[in-house]
Amino acid sequence: MKIYMYSALLAFAASTHAFTLAPKSRASVVLNSSPPGPLANGPGGQGGAQITGGASPYNGPVTGGPGGSISGKMLENEYYPSKPPTGKTKAADLLFSRDIATLPAATTIQGGALKTWSFPSSDVDRLVVSMTSDHPTLDTMTHEGRLLHAKVDLCQGPNNTPLQMIVKSGKGKLRPFKAIIETPGGHSSLFIRNIGNLEFPIMACVEAAMEDASMAGGAASEFKTVSKSVYDMANPKTLQGGSVVTFPLQSSIASVKVMLKTEGRPLNALIELVQGPNSVKHTIDLYTEHGIDRPFFCVITSPGAENVIRVVNTAPVEFPLTVGVEPYVVETN
């Protein structure tokens, strides 16, 4: 009897010991087999870590320590396509990559002054408008430029202003204004008024463009070639009246292209470049009377990190618009 009871106690102890060790063994296996978590969208990190999550269009290794550069291939999602839209956009891309202050057609507009460009030819399809606060007087001051604050009006015929906008950039050289303005029917005039103080001159350049400048014959040298395909966006988004949409930008995106249009209704919108906690760096307050004949296209420079493009449809709910935002220049170190 004693031998039997002693054997039963040994068996019970062995089973109890196995029961208490099993959870520790399982926990150890789970801990050791779990992969390290992905690096969220933060500044820098260890080499080989992958950036995942968020609305970032890029996925690639992070090199260096805090503040390290990010490089990788573009990912396809709702706002950023895997490939740029096809079409004759190369000529327009070259136009927007130029230094505005060095253009022969650039002119200085003093604070409070008005400058007018007239285009009586019916061959003009659109205008390439560029503004910056870069000026020779800034050589000893700052490399980022001063305030750029201007009002742009397109006039066609007496008392007819089909397009109006107010442009403001706190550092006009660092964040210049570059846009395309449609002129269906030709015979148009563009007015740019510097509504900043006298201490803040700006430089502006307005150039006539055609769908194909080679069709102009001997006058082809007077026109730039800008195809209507610049308005093609891979994933445009409908924005109802009174609504707001935001497009977060990865720090490797140096500039973006923004397109706005409607189905024929008037277009009222506010485009903002926001950096940091609600710090607005660049604004475009836009109105066009016809969103099909007069869509809007611009290139916004986004230096630094934590940039967001915010578009507000300031029209009533009955006037939706279509917005498209895509990377224009991407830095790959």
Which pLDDT tens digit goes with each residue over 35-62? 333 333 333 333 333 322 333 333 333 2
pLDDT in the model for residue 258: 96
User: Which of 245, 249, 252, 291 is closest to 268 using CA atoms?
Assistant: 291
pLDDT at 133: 87
* pLDDT on residue 91: 47
The total of structural domains in the chain comes to 1
Q: Which CATH number belongs to the domain containing residue 166 in this structure? A: 2.60.120.680
Under-50 pLDDT residues of the chain: 1-4, 6, 8-91, 140, 220
Rg (CA), the chain: 29
Question: Tell me, what's the pLDDT at 10?
Answer: 46
Is 6 a member of any domain?
A: no
Flag whether 142 is in a domain: yes
State residue 136's pLDDT score.
61
Q: Is residue 260 part of a domain?
A: yes
In a domain, 37, yes or no: no
Q: What confidence score (pLDDT) does residue 308 get?
A: 95
CB 252 within 8 A of CB 332: yes
Strand 224-225 with 202-210, pairing = parallel
Residue 35 counted as domain residue: no
pTM reported for the whole predicted model: 0.69
Q: Does 243 fall in a domain?
A: yes
Range of the domain at 217: 78-330
Q: How far is CA 175 from CA 15, 92, 147, in A?
A: 73, 19, 10
Q: Which residue has the tokens 């475009």?
A: 284
Confidence at residue 95, expressed as pLDDT on a 0 to 100 scale: 67
